Amino acid sequence: MKLSDDFDARRLRPRRPKNWRLRIGAGLGALLAAFGILLAMAGVASLAGRAPVLGTLNDSAGEASVLLLLGLFLLWAGIAFWRRCRRRLRRPSDLSLSPSLMKKRD
């Protein structure tokens, strides 16, 4: 079979859509996790009594513990959101394979 000069194999493959939404979502998840780390560190510093820059947050241990729990929750939510976006970015869109057959990359 003779191939003509104007044949291009790249035209046969479907183009993958650009996943800017998922990339931006992964970035926002990473920022959320970083903000959670900072809040948790501020809560620990306030509980230890070493938080002069936090203003009224070092008045009571209850407010400091709420700040610590909020920071840990934001850290957990940011990591979960980041992982979900990364998993969707790495998922192939053309074949439906079993998840157990795919390589574990995340």
Q: Is residue 81 scored above 60 in pLDDT?
A: yes
Query: Which pair of structure tokens corresponds to residue 34?
Result: 């970083």
Residue 38 CB: number of other CB atoms within 10 A?
13
Which whole number is the average pLDDT over 92-100? 58
Return d(Cα 64, Cα 40) in angstroms, integer.
9
| pLDDT of res. 48 | 83
Which of 47 and 24 is assigned the larger pLDDT? 24
Return d(Cα 8, Cα 25) in angstroms, integer.
35
pTM of the model: 0.66
Tell me phi and psi for residue 102, to 5 degrees: -80, 155
